[in-house]
């Protein structure tokens, strides 16, 4: 392939700006903060154009190779990725659409970040990866790592949806249920680093998941003809996707592919676990650990996010906001969008719809403003209510009641 070159120059501490060498195994910076990958954007801009990109046959995020850190094409790990569709929701908003990330391998947007993390682990010679998960990230790690021949160990809260636990195991990981939340699982991963020798692939504790999630922003811009919507509603737990998209928009702007206003970035959390919302409301840069975290939207039940200051920076710089919605509104949103638009949102995706309705009701946006909701996983992975009636084949069928 002709487009396998990468333009990585170095890694950089997101808090202090200290430079770190590329092509080495890195976790957090010396300051204990996430590392960001930096590129020679001038050289990148000369090597690829929007027109070149448009001629590429391959679907999915690997088509953005120049924007990604994998140096050798043979280290890419692929499972048939696609460009995820923007599904209009015209019954609710004239320019409202949901980006359906559930179409990706393993049924969620976690495929983007973990494909890049695994590809870089392969490139750097790592043999065993471990992570905490609320479900979908563990499934993506297991699948891509198995594809790459890398061993995985995954820890998830004991009440993680059963389908997630089983798919993680079936796709090759050693999976353990933990009597706690994702941060408790993360502590176990951290404690096992020296004892077992695995690499900690927790959210933002390695530099490359952000680069994978960044492709959501590049893909969205390409789908919209290299412009962006007025607002992006993003379900926010660890916040890698929100951070990644904001990074993508800046890189695209730097090479002249994007002009015009940046979108308002809206971080959506559940009322039962809203540390970013509280920090945003309090005007601070770091979120406190959320006590007694609970919500039906398991994917955003993250009591503490190591990239909290990066999420808050993106929200504030974009003129966006952080908002929390109750579980009742999440379930109601899921039910109504499925019934009226035929689109089955996951609970986290439904939270973004509830947040959009709240924003319109509060006058923060018009129902006619262009807005994109991120549905981060297929709704088929989550418990659904049993609404079926029953019919006795040997009895009298009450067709009148069905008319």
Q: Are 248 and 219 in contact (CB under 8 A)?
A: no
Taken in order 144, 293, 352, 315, the sign of the CA dihedral is negative
**3-state SS, residue 310:** helix
Q: Return the pLDDT at 6.
A: 84
Q: Distance between CA atoms of 34 and 13, rounded to whole angstroms?
A: 6
Q: Return the pLDDT at 309.
A: 94
Q: Return the pLDDT at 1.
A: 38
- Per residue in 29-58, pLDDT (tens digit) is 999 999 999 999 999 999 999 999 999 988
What is the number of residues in the chain? Answer: 403
Q: Distance between CA atoms of 214 and 398, rounded to whole angstroms?
A: 54
- Per residue in 349-361, pLDDT (tens digit) is 999 999 999 999 9
Of 325, 379, 311, the closest CA to residue 353 belongs to 325
Question: Do 282 and 373 fall within a single domain?
Answer: yes
Q: Give the residue from 21, 50, 84 where a domain finishes.
A: 84
Q: Give the residue from 23, 50, 84 where a domain finishes.
A: 84
Is 387 a domain residue? no
Q: Is 1 exposed, middle or buried (0-12, 13-18, 19+ CB in 10 A)?
A: exposed
Q: Return the pLDDT at 260.
A: 86
**Does residue 208 surpass a pLDDT of 70?**
yes
Q: Distance between CA atoms of 58 and 244, rounded to whole angstroms?
A: 22
Question: Do 193 and 222 fall within a single domain?
Answer: no
- Per residue in 304-320, pLDDT (tens digit) is 988 999 999 999 999 99
Is 2 a domain residue? no
Q: Return the pLDDT at 204.
A: 87
The pLDDT-based confidence of 4 (bands split at 50, 70, 90) is low
Residues 176-190: what's their mean pLDDT? 95
**Does residue 3 surpass a pLDDT of 80?**
no
Q: What residues make up the domain containing 275?
A: 210-381
- Per residue in 14-27, pLDDT (tens digit) is 999 999 999 999 99
Question: If you search the block for the tokens 């999440």, which residue do you land on?
Answer: 330
Q: Distance between CA atoms of 363 and 264, rounded to whole angstroms?
A: 14
Averaged pLDDT score across all residues of the chain: 95
Q: Distance between CA atoms of 128 and 385, rounded to whole angstroms?
A: 38
Q: What is the tally of structural domains in the chain?
A: 3
Question: Do 114 and 227 fall within a single domain?
Answer: no
384, two tokens = 């659904």
- Per residue in 223-244, pLDDT (tens digit) is 999 999 999 999 999 899 999 9
Question: Do 49 and 187 fall within a single domain?
Answer: no
Is 187 a domain residue? yes
Of 291, 283, 290, 272, the closest CA to residue 309 belongs to 283
**Does residue 265 surpass a pLDDT of 90?**
yes
Hey, how many other C-beta atoms are within 10 angstroms of the C-beta on 392?
7
Q: Are 101 and 376 in contact (CB under 8 A)?
A: yes
- Per residue in 97-148, pLDDT (tens digit) is 999 999 999 999 999 999 999 999 999 999 999 999 999 999 999 999 999 9
């Amino acid at each position: 392939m002709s487009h396998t070159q990468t333009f990585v120059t170095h890694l950089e501490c997101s808090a202090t700006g200290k430079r770190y060498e590329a092509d080495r195994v890195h976790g957090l910076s010396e300051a204990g903060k996430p590392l960001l990958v930096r590129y020679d954007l001038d050289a990148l801009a000369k090597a690829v154009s929007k027109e070149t990109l448009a001629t590429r046959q391959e679907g999915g995020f690997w088509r953005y190779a120049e924007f990604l850190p994998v140096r050798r094409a043979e280290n890419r790990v692929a499972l048939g990725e696609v460009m995820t569709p923007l599904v209009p929701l015209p019954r609710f908003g004239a320019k409202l659409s949901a980006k359906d990330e559930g179409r990706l391998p393993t049924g969620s947007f976690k495929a983007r970040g973990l494909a890049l993390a695994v590809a870089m682990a392969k490139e750097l010679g790592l043999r065993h990866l471990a992570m905490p998960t609320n479900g979908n990230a563990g499934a993506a790690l297991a699948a891509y790592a198995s594809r790459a021949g890398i061993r995985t160990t995954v820890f998830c809260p004991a009440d993680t949806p059963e389908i997630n636990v089983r798919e993680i195991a079936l796709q090759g990981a050693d999976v353990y249920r933990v009597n706690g939340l994702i941060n408790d699982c993360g502590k176990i991963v951290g404690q096992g680093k020296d004892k077992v020798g695995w690499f900690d692939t927790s959210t933002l504790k390695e530099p490359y998941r952000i680069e994978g999630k960044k492709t959501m922003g590049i893909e969205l811009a390409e789908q919209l003809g290299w412009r962006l919507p007025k607002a992006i509603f993003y379900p926010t737990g660890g916040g890698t996707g929100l951070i990644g998209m904001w990074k993508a928009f800046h890189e695209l702007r730097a090479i002249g592919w994007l002009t015009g206003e940046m979108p308002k970035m809206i971080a959506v959390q559940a009322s039962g676990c809203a540390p970013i919302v509280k920090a945003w409301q309090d005007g601070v840069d770091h979120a406190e650990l959320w006590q007694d975290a609970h919500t039906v939207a398991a994917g955003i039940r993250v009591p503490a996010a190591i990239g909290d200051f990066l999420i808050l920076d993106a929200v504030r710089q974009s003129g966006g906001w952080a908002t929390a919605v109750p579980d009742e509104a999440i379930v109601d949103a899921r039910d109504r969008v499925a019934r009226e638009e035929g689109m089955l949102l996951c609970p986290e995706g439904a939270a973004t719809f509830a947040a959009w309705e709240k924003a319109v009701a509060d006058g923060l946006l018009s129902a006619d403003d262009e807005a994109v909701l991120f549905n981060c996983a297929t709704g088929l992975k989550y418990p659904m209510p049993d609404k079926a009636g029953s019919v006795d084949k040997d009895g009298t069928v009450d067709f009148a009641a069905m008319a």
